[in-house]
A and B are shown apart, each in its own frame.
Chain A
Amino acid sequence: MYRYDAIDKTLVAERVAQFRDQTRRFLAGELSEDEFRHLRLRNGLYIQRHAPMLRVAIPYGLLSSAQLRMLASIAERYDRGYGHLTTRQNIQYNWPRLEDVPEILADLATVEMHAIQTSGNCIRNVTSDHLAGVTPDELEDPRPWCEIIRQWSTFHPEFSFLPRKFKIAVTGAPQDRAASLVHDVGVHIVRDAEGGLGFEILAGGGLGRTPIIGQVVRDFLPREHLLSYLEAILRVYNLEGRRDNPTKARIKILVRSLGIEEFRRRVEKEWAQIRDSGPRLDSAEIERVRGFFAPPAYRSLEDLDPSTGRETAFRAWYRYNTHAHKMPGYRAVFVSLKKPGIAPGDATTAQMNLLAELADRYCFGEIRVTHTQNLLFADVEQRDAFELWRALDAAGLATPNIGTLTDMICCPGLDFCSLANAGSIDVARLINERFDDYDYLYDLGELEVKMSGCMNACGHHHVGHIGILGVDKGGEEWYQITIGGAAGADASLGSVIGPSVPKHEVAETIARLLAVYVERRTDDERFLDTVRRLGVKPFKERVYAASAAA
């Protein structure tokens, strides 16, 4: 993984000093609430329902065991013994004291971590495929490009005060596991007709109040021009994006109002001016960064089936919670943070410390955060899978539900977030209680349920096969259900099935949707495919006919 050199260390240390001084000035009354808000938001610090919330960057989701131990220690010392992993591969602490934040940042700096640009109207943490570097279908590891973008975007002097936040995702495989089509910019590694590697660049995707799928701005960009092209996009956006209304300020609104053709024309016109004078990546710099992501010291192994002769529970876990690896004898292993009864994406100090130890023992000292709010050991020897499972299972981290209904994406909701209309953790619990039969879950197959507590869509509900959105109805928590959304390469936005339902009917509503699927599906069809084939109507009829009858 990437290791800081003197420049990175200096920048992060100086950022800690700067933020320490800004916090001091605020506490001394030298900065107003509003002025400090603009400053703290650039550093991941929100003032939330109960306390400040601090979001720490995990660039493209990659952590060393030492970093994970520090995250565990911070949870223990400054929070209530846990952290919450987000859909953008970051971690959030919900209970730190404002006065302690500079110390937390100083602690993070000792393990080459920070909270720079994890919030605010600037370029956010760049995200990627959690299977980067290990998945068999990959053209190239996207992480070196993520790191190049991370450095370029960190304290970018021109783009630190954008109209609104700006999120970039990079993928290197045809299967999109980073939801890049709903990012402000998506960067896809592709080959041109001659077989050379470069990028397809998309812009204008996003969720929130106005969900839009990103569109292609350029179908092939030679690699050395990545940063100048991003500068051209950002420059057009910085000058022309709306600043009069925060709900219309994302780049997706600019792209939609100009149309993709005109947006592209403006970007290309700007790029023509800076292509040669702007930042240009030479092969020495590309190779320098790639060097940090060289494959670990894999052993020469044969594939084997570790589930032979093992108990059913292990076999189910191995089938659902592990993924193919490009190296024979290896497997990528998911750590499920979706155990019934806990908030999706939460990890305790004890769990984080255990996972750090397991990473050292089984996975070259590395662990990754997935955008579905789980963790991943990317490089596990198949022969170690059983031992690893036992250790995870004992810690409540082996719920065999990856990719199933109960592997829900879920924002913190009303319990923690001051923006939310409705609780989401509670609903996750109700769904888990209702669907506790694994045979049924497995029979349903691949199913992405995504839940947000408000229109900001932190839980990506628009792109859930089933999406659940919390709405406020006369002071009560109600939920609007959508079906048919998807976040991958075939991304689509879900359709609302009808009027929202009260909290106690969410699980029953899902049960009815699934009943229609089970009755109408063809052999291999996923829930998503059935919805796409049949449309919303039969699902809607079942949900509301049953309500009317009751």
Chain B
Amino acid sequence: MPRQLLRDRRTVVDEWIYLDEVPADWRRPSGETASVILPFDRWLAERETWIGGADRLGVRLDPADPVEALAVDLPRLALVALRFPGPAEGRGYTQARLLRERWGFTGEIRAAGYVRQDQVFFLARCGFNAFELSEGDAAAAERALATFSAEYQVSNDAGLSRPLRRR
């Protein structure tokens, strides 16, 4: 079944495939362009073969993966997926902010793994714009993006920096 995704506040069918989720002998249909997400270790090992190809490329980071190692490749990537193994995980929030703010990444940053409506507000403020929701609560998650209508910190919603609120 195709994966549902909340992206830019819309529920869409995910056109991306994870290379570690397809059979080992997977080949893209000839003449087509695929949207392919590589796990970070495969990206490190195979980046030369993928760069310059026709496919749209994404990389998935685990929480302990060094996000700075991806900085030089960001112009070639259309997507970075950051994985959350469970509800206590918090490194992805920092990884996303670094991608947006330090290296100016403008592609999709997606939350993968354990993602529920209770996290999406903070995730969005750190720069995530796409969410693979654990369960079928996309509508609730979309509402949850508006949980708070004010904030105390510099915001990074949708990749756009806002100044620290002046009162």
Question: Which residues of A are interface residues toward B (Cβ below 8 A)?
Answer: 5-7, 10-11, 14-15, 18, 22, 34-35, 38-39, 121, 151-152, 154-163, 235, 238-239, 243, 273, 277-280, 284-285, 288
B152 adjacent to A161 (CB under 8 Å): no
Q: Is residue B27 within 8 Å, beta carbon to beta carbon, of the partner chain?
A: no
Contact (A239, B94) CB under 8 Å given A11-B148, A121-B88, A161-B88: yes
What are 19 A-B pairs at a CB distance below 8 A? A7-B152, A7-B165, A7-B167, A10-B148, A14-B150, A15-B148, A18-B148, A38-B87, A38-B88, A154-B152, A155-B148, A155-B152, A157-B121, A158-B126, A159-B90, A238-B90, A239-B94, A243-B89, A279-B153
Q: How far is the CA of A238 from the CA of B67 in the complex (A)?
A: 13
Closest 3 CB pairs of A and B: A161-B90, A157-B125, A157-B122
A157 adjacent to B90 (CB under 8 Å): no
A18 interface neighbour in B90, B147, B166, Cβ under 8 Å = B147
- In the assembled complex, how far is the CB of residue B144 from the closest CB belonging to chain A, in whole angstroms? 8
Question: Which residues of B are interface residues toward A (Cβ below 8 A)?
Answer: 63, 87-91, 93-95, 97, 101-102, 116, 118, 121-123, 125-126, 147-156, 164-167
Q: How far is the CA of A246 from the CA of B50 in the complex (A)?
A: 40
Q: How far is the CA of A173 from the CA of B94 in the complex (A)?
A: 34
Q: How far is the CA of A109 from the CA of B164 in the complex (A)?
A: 25
Contact (A279, B167) CB under 8 Å given A156-B153, A158-B94, A160-B122: no
Nearest residue in B to A39 (C-beta to C-beta)?
A: B118
B151 interface neighbour in A15, A38, A155, A284, Cβ under 8 Å = A155
Q: How far is the CA of A227 from the CA of B125 in the complex (A)?
A: 18
B102 adjacent to A34 (CB under 8 Å): no
Residue among B90, B122, B151 with the highest chain A CB neighbour number at 10 A: B90
- In the assembled complex, how far is the CB of residue A163 from the closest CB belonging to chain B, in whole angstroms? 7
B152 adjacent to A152 (CB under 8 Å): yes
A238 interface neighbour in B94, B116, B125, B150, Cβ under 8 Å = B94
The interface residues of chain A lying within 8 Å CB-to-CB of B102 are: 273
Q: How far is the CA of A22 from the CA of B156 in the complex (A)?
A: 25
Contact (A278, B90) CB under 8 Å given A10-B149, A11-B148, A155-B122: no
- In the assembled complex, how far is the CB of residue A154 from the closest CB belonging to chain B, in whole angstroms? 6
- In the assembled complex, how far is the CB of residue B104 from the closest CB belonging to chain A, in whole angstroms? 12
The interface residues of chain B lying within 8 Å CB-to-CB of A10 are: 148-150
B153 interface neighbour in A5, A14, A152, A243, Cβ under 8 Å = A152
- In the assembled complex, how far is the CB of residue B99 from the closest CB belonging to chain A, in whole angstroms? 12
Besides A11-B150, A152-B152, 7 other A-B contacts (C-beta < 8 A) = A18-B147, A155-B153, A157-B93, A157-B155, A238-B94, A239-B94, A279-B153
Q: How far is the CA of A285 from the CA of B90 in the complex (A)?
A: 30
Contact (A5, B152) CB under 8 Å given A121-B88, A235-B94: no
The interface residues of chain B lying within 8 Å CB-to-CB of A35 are: 87, 116
- In the assembled complex, how far is the CB of residue A496 from the closest CB belonging to chain B, in whole angstroms? 33
- In the assembled complex, how far is the CB of residue A239 from the closest CB belonging to chain B, in whole angstroms? 5
Q: How far is the CA of A167 from the CA of B116 in the complex (A)?
A: 27
The interface residues of chain A lying within 8 Å CB-to-CB of B63 are: 243
The interface residues of chain B lying within 8 Å CB-to-CB of A284 are: 166
Q: How far is the CA of A34 from the CA of B121 in the complex (A)?
A: 20
- In the assembled complex, how far is the CB of residue B164 from the closest CB belonging to chain A, in whole angstroms? 5
The interface residues of chain A lying within 8 Å CB-to-CB of B151 are: 11, 155
The interface residues of chain B lying within 8 Å CB-to-CB of A277 are: 101
- In the assembled complex, how far is the CB of residue A375 from the closest CB belonging to chain B, in whole angstroms? 29
- In the assembled complex, how far is the CB of residue A289 from the closest CB belonging to chain B, in whole angstroms? 10
A121 adjacent to B90 (CB under 8 Å): yes
The interface residues of chain B lying within 8 Å CB-to-CB of A22 are: 118
Q: How far is the CA of A157 from the CA of B147 in the complex (A)?
A: 13
- In the assembled complex, how far is the CB of residue B77 from the closest CB belonging to chain A, in whole angstroms? 20
B152 adjacent to A151 (CB under 8 Å): yes
Nearest residue in A to B144 (C-beta to C-beta)?
A: A18
Q: How far is the CA of A154 from the CA of B165 in the complex (A)?
A: 14
Nearest residue in A to B93 (C-beta to C-beta)?
A: A158
- In the assembled complex, how far is the CB of residue A279 from the closest CB belonging to chain B, in whole angstroms? 5
- In the assembled complex, how far is the CB of residue A123 from the closest CB belonging to chain B, in whole angstroms? 12
B149 adjacent to A238 (CB under 8 Å): no
- In the assembled complex, how far is the CB of residue B88 from the closest CB belonging to chain A, in whole angstroms? 6
A163 adjacent to B90 (CB under 8 Å): yes
The interface residues of chain B lying within 8 Å CB-to-CB of A160 are: 90, 93, 122
B87 interface neighbour in A11, A34, A278, Cβ under 8 Å = A34
The interface residues of chain A lying within 8 Å CB-to-CB of B152 are: 7, 11, 151-152, 154-156
Q: How far is the CA of A161 from the CA of B82 in the complex (A)?
A: 15
Q: How far is the CA of A322 from the CA of B143 in the complex (A)?
A: 53
Nearest residue in B to A30 (C-beta to C-beta)?
A: B137
Contact (A14, B147) CB under 8 Å given A7-B167, A22-B118, A151-B152: yes
The interface residues of chain A lying within 8 Å CB-to-CB of B150 are: 6-7, 10-11, 14
Q: How far is the CA of A150 from the CA of B7 in the complex (A)?
A: 32
The interface residues of chain B lying within 8 Å CB-to-CB of A18 are: 147-148
The interface residues of chain B lying within 8 Å CB-to-CB of A161 are: 88-90, 93, 122
The interface residues of chain B lying within 8 Å CB-to-CB of A151 are: 152
Nearest residue in B to A37 (C-beta to C-beta)?
A: B87
The interface residues of chain A lying within 8 Å CB-to-CB of B101 are: 277
The interface residues of chain B lying within 8 Å CB-to-CB of A243 are: 63, 88-89, 91
Q: How far is the CA of A152 from the CA of B165 in the complex (A)?
A: 11
The interface residues of chain B lying within 8 Å CB-to-CB of A6 are: 150
Contact (A280, B164) CB under 8 Å given A10-B150, A157-B126: yes
Nearest residue in B to A42 (C-beta to C-beta)?
A: B118
Q: How far is the CA of A243 from the CA of B150 in the complex (A)?
A: 31
The interface residues of chain A lying within 8 Å CB-to-CB of B156 are: 157
The interface residues of chain A lying within 8 Å CB-to-CB of B87 are: 34-35, 38
Q: How far is the CA of A279 from the CA of B163 in the complex (A)?
A: 9
The interface residues of chain B lying within 8 Å CB-to-CB of A34 are: 87
A278 adjacent to B154 (CB under 8 Å): yes
B116 adjacent to A5 (CB under 8 Å): no
Q: How far is the CA of A424 from the CA of B88 in the complex (A)?
A: 31
A239 interface neighbour in B91, B126, B154, Cβ under 8 Å = B91
The interface residues of chain B lying within 8 Å CB-to-CB of A7 are: 150, 152, 165, 167
Q: How far is the CA of A167 from the CA of B102 in the complex (A)?
A: 27
- In the assembled complex, how far is the CB of residue B149 from the closest CB belonging to chain A, in whole angstroms? 6
Q: How far is the CA of A162 from the CA of B150 in the complex (A)?
A: 22
Nearest residue in B to A8 (C-beta to C-beta)?
A: B150
A279 adjacent to B88 (CB under 8 Å): no
The interface residues of chain A lying within 8 Å CB-to-CB of B154 are: 278-279
